[in-house]
Structure 1
Amino acid sequence: MIQVTKAKDPLGFYALVISFDCDPKRKDSLILAVREELHKLQKEGVIQEELDKFISEESRKYELQAKSNQFWLSYLKGQWDKKESLDQFLKYPHLLKTIHLKEINKYCHS
């Protein structure tokens, strides 16, 4: 599983967490494989097909979450607790449309 996290308090930061279940004997080889993929991403960047797949999957996830009362309860509580705008989730489809391959690859190479 890959998860991206951001936090404001106590210090602002972003984190990328990669986790997986595996046989403990395979741990080192899987860690090496993840590192190789991250290095490849940094060196070669992302291709349009991968970006399109990501946007499609995120759009589908958005549609499913929007139908879930449990999601809305958790989302609204989180936004309220962080004193953030309650309508951020509604802006997500537009945000996905603003993602450009060139910008992503610029960050991959930095």
Structure 2
Amino acid sequence: MGTVNHRIRPGYDVTLAMIEGTEVRSLCAISFVPTVQVGTSGLATDPTAPDCPECQDLYDITREAWEAKKRRNAANRDLYAAKKRYRERVDEILKAREHQGEPVHH
């Protein structure tokens, strides 16, 4: 395929790997030693080089998963806030009934 732009797996310090000459691994599981020709982002210095299709597919899937996780976290926050408002409102109602002398069952 020739020169392609790989995406480096999280956790690798690509700049340090360039200095020390140690391997990094791409999302598509290719190990290589980054060089000036590859660049610190894991992208080839040739701007016309295509992206590695396997890396791109894996990156897109990972991005979709992170977006889904963010949506889930937001939904959980909304659910927690609604439950909190519900409990607060029930407490208000019970306090009002107690103040009026009505029997209250918790």
Same fold at TM > 0.5? no
More strand by share: 1
TM-score normalized by the length of structure 2: 0.31
Q: Which protein has the bigger helix share?
A: 1
Structure possessing the higher radius of gyration over alpha carbons: 2
